[in-house]
Amino acid sequence: MPELSESSRQMKSNVVHTDPDVMHGTPVFLGTRVPIGTLWDYLEAGESLKDFLVDFPSVSRKQAEALIRQARHALSAQDGPEQGRVACE
């Protein structure tokens, strides 16, 4: 996996926090107890980003959008013939 650039590290540190004393080390949105996986669960279930933000007001739109951009960047940075593509079942 490619190393994160300085700007990616900064974005990650501004968006995601992991601490063994918070949610048993589950990655959460910085400054909250909301696991980042909850956003993926909402989106996978067909819910909108707006619905997620209404249900979890401690997460800012800026944080959620930054996480989505970070995931997109990580996927598009992968090497190989299927670069940036995710298989659907």
8 Cβ partners below 8 Å, 6+ apart?
Answer: 70, 73
Show the tokens assigned to 4: 């994160």
Q: What is the pLDDT along the chain (89 residues), one digit of tens a residue?
A: 445 454 444 445 689 999 999 999 999 999 999 999 999 999 999 999 999 999 999 999 999 999 999 999 888 887 545 555 555 55
Coil/strand/helix, residue 57:
coil
pTM of the model: 0.71
pLDDT at 3: 53
